Structure 1
């Protein structure tokens, strides 16, 4: 994967060749606590930026998250169904949520780079 870009809500996105892998940042996962369930989008589903795309339920809270850029879902991380705790252990690698094709590279470039995201989370008291 290439560099990750982030939203202020804690979603990350990184290119893997012509596909965009989407997940949840460590800061966002830590804010939620121990993850107990992940509801991913359905393969074939077309997602629009800002539209709810996945839900994470945890001991502390449940939250809906948005897709960072437009695209069509081609793959979801099936491991999270049986082992949602993977999201706590390795949210930015093994804990990816879904993969998009036909994603908008220009919209991805407008997301926060890792340094800007870290600065934002420190200034805002963490991801929501």
Structure 2
């Protein structure tokens, strides 16, 4: 499946695909700025380590999840599940319980991002 998806012609060419892929990847690392909200609460030297660890995790997991999706699904399935691809992967792998778990995790992560932004704004106001 990976070979078939990889050899599929790209609409708009390679550079357009790289542009949109890079843009999507930057959305995938949104939230890094929220760690800066806690810099005043960290000991000196901890913040660079935090950023290094976050980049390392993202550099491993994002490409791995993308390759897994390209290896398991035809492009038509990937394009039809643009809003919930990871949850759909969980459903295919283990059934509805994993789809639900992935969806709940996404809600918790986004809720944490909102809480973090609230903490950051509160710190700026004080």
Structure number with bigger Rg: 2
TM-score, with normalisation over the residues of structure 1? 0.25
Higher normalized strand content (fraction of residues): 1
